[in-house]
Amino acid sequence: MTLLFARLARLKLIDWGPGERARLKVQRNFPWRAGGPVKKAYGNRVMQEFLKGRFDGALEFLRFEARDVSAESAAVMRRRLERLAAEFNDLAEVDSSLPARRRAGMGLLFACRPWEFSVVNALKKRIA
């Protein structure tokens, strides 16, 4: 463990002090770079494992909506999702001071993009 702590300290990822105490120096909520090595290595696996859940527990929620909206409405929605992500991270930061037994790992997935169900696309092509 000492060797690992020393390596992390040399990489300037932690402050390592007396009593083997370490403090993280990087953000807890860092974004994965699009096309970056972490996203390439784990992106699909994370999504698949996350979506395997039933989403029927007390703290679980999954809802999918698909509608036609303007570019302006899509931009508003994106800003709101960004604010929601920031609020999620703020709450996690506040909760980080609680004992571990009072916290649970929580994944949050929300997304929006231009999208149309492939079945609808196929029907449109057949009709046209």
Task: Enter the pTM of the model.
Answer: 0.72
State residue 30 phi and psi, 5-degree precision: -90, 140
**pLDDT tens figures, 37-81:** 888 999 999 999 999 999 999 999 999 999 999 999 999 999 999
CA dist 4 and 25 (Å) reads 15
The two tokens of residue 85 are 């992500």
**pLDDT tens figures, 70-125:** 999 999 999 999 999 999 999 999 999 999 999 999 999 988 888 888 888 888 88
